[in-house]
Amino acid sequence: MTLKDMLGRTGVISREEALKALDLHLTIAPLASEELSISLSLGRIVAEKITSPEDLPEFDRSTMDGFAVRSADTFGAAESRPALVTIVGDIAMGTMPDRVLSVGEAMKIATGGALPKGADAVVMLEQTQAVDAGQIEVVKPVAPLENVVQTGDDIKRGEVILNRGHRMRPQDMGALAGVGITRVRVFEKPKAAIINTGNEVVPADFAPAPGQVRDINSYNLEGLISQAGCIPVKKGIIPDEYGRLREALDAALRDCDLVLMTGGSSVGTMDLTARVINDLGRPGVLVHGVSIKPGKPIIMGVLNTLAKQVPVFGLPGHPAAVSICFEVFVKPVLERMTGEIPHPALAGVSPYRSVKAKLARSISSSPGREDHVRVTLEKMDDGLLARPVFGASGLISTLVNAAGTVVVPVNKIGIEVGEEVDVRLF
């Protein structure tokens, strides 16, 4: 029996099986790249290894306000028998000293200033006392390289700064700027099409007639796609008509890397999503129904175009189901498409930001189903309290009022009040 036969209208599979089926049939196409100013690179994925063209810093620098000295001239110095050194000049910021320090000499230096040749340490200002305009006493010895950053201590010439697949952070932008790299090659952002279906759905700026509802899902998905580092492409509201839906999906396959269709995924007379996906190519629908709540009717498929494979998702029409299905099934695919390579040390670590909390009231769940329960968080004297937000998955307010979700595993029939749970934060 084939996977599709098993996953027809009469049965569902687990979340793990669904993700495995998609992974088995989906090959991510080679990613295109573009060059950007580092000022525009935040959050983008580095497309090639970046090595430093120079040392950072390019000269030995002071980390303190004080005096550049030869450390040997301070050995044995103490309050009772200070070391006497002669001041031979000030080091102006932004310039290289024009002389070499000899035995018994020092130069005044500010934090970040360049050390003169011959100096190998900096005595902090508070560890000296003036004798006259030209001499100071050092009351505490300094070791070689004390209060000094050496050439290349930060980044060495030829050192790898960022690897391919790294997501750019503010500190990465600063590091590149520090070695004179002002442009970076990054992967292009994947484009995710949003096709909202339903005869009852009208644009958000319309006044709905009786029996109609404003478009919520495409705006919700627009935000979720953007948060995932991709480009949302809204294809409009398509009525429940085979021809119109097929035309919209066909167009989306040509200019987008992934397609999300909302509505039309449950059993019913208006269920056209699976049919349209199957009619447009192979392998077509891989999964129709997953043992998860909310989101059980989700459709997952792959279509081969002339240029690439495009994953296609048919998401349930209820907003809560849209959000949960996106987080569990769509987001992992988009992350693969961005080209990001997670840090090796984080392999096996949960991708979710989560906090520990105690459950304010019991949650029940049907056996054999993975439940994602929206919860609010309250701060208590002994930690956080997670309070379930009950309500139908069609209510957008259950998402707005929630801080995250608690997952009831497929092998449990619920979680008792007072149990500690992991809350996956939105």
- 268 shares its domain with 340: yes
Per-position b or e across 319-332, b if 16+ CB within 10 A of its CB? bbbbbbbbbbbbbe
Domain that holds residue 309: 3-32+189-344
Rounded distance, CA 60 to CA 202, Å? 66
Q: Running DSSP on this structure, what letter comes out for residue 39?
A: G
Q: Got the DSSP string for 204-234?
A: TTS-PPTT-EE--HHHHHHHHHHHTT-EEEE
What percentage of the chain has pLDDT greater than the value 90? 87
Enter the pTM of the model. Answer: 0.87
When pLDDT is cut at 50, 70 and 90, the band that residue 2 belongs to is very low
Would 385 be classed as within a structural domain?
A: yes
Two tokens at 92?
A: 């102006």
Counting residues of the chain whose pLDDT is more than 70, the rounded percentage is 96
- For residue 103, which amino acid is it? V
Distance CA 369, CA 380 (A): 31
Residue 349 lies in a domain: no
Q: Let me know whether 114 and 47 are in one domain.
A: no
**DSSP letter, residue 121:** E
Which of 298, 323, 344 is the last residue before a domain boundary? 344
Tell me, yes or no, whether 196 lies in a domain: yes
Assess whether 293 and 359 both reside in one domain.
no
Residues 194 and 223 in one domain: yes
Beta bridge partners of residue 162, listed in sequence order:
50
| Residue 386 one-letter amino acid | A
**Residues, the chain:** 426
Residues 383 and 307 in one domain: no
Asked if residue 325 belongs to a domain, the reply is: yes
386 and 414 belong to one structural domain: yes
CATH classification at residue 44: 3.90.105.10
Instruction: Over range 275-285, report the average pLDDT.
Output: 94
Domain annotation covers residue 108: yes
CA distances from 262 to 12, 133, 426 (A): 19, 80, 20
Q: State the CATH number of the domain containing residue 251.
A: 3.40.980.10
- Residue at which a domain ends, from 149, 175, 203: 149
187, 205, 233: which is the final residue of a domain? 187
Distance (Å, whole) CA 253 – CA 280:
10
What does the pLDDT read at residue 342? 87
How confident is the model over 405-419, as pLDDT tens digits? 999 999 899 999 999
Mean pLDDT of the chain: 93
The 10s digit of each residue's pLDDT in 137-187 is: 999 999 999 999 999 999 999 999 999 999 999 999 999 999 999 999 999
**pLDDT score for 347:** 73
φ, ψ at 384 (rounded to 5°): -100, 145
Rounded to an integer, the average pLDDT of 252-278 is 83
Position 266 scores a pLDDT of: 58
Q: Which two tokens stand for residue 112?
A: 């970040």
Query: Are residues 40 and 112 part of one domain?
Result: no
Number of domains in the chain: 4
Q: What is the pLDDT of residues 84-113, one digit of tens each?
A: 999 999 999 999 999 999 999 999 999 999
Band of pLDDT at residue 270, cut at 50, 70 and 90: very low
DSSP string, 333-362: HHHHHHT----GGGTTS-SS-EEEEEESS-
- Do 405 and 264 lie in one domain? The reply is no
Assess if residue 22 is contained within a domain: yes
Residue 119 has pLDDT above 90, yes or no: yes
Residues 277 and 204 in one domain: yes
**Is the residue at 379 inside a domain?**
yes
Residue 78 lies in a domain: yes
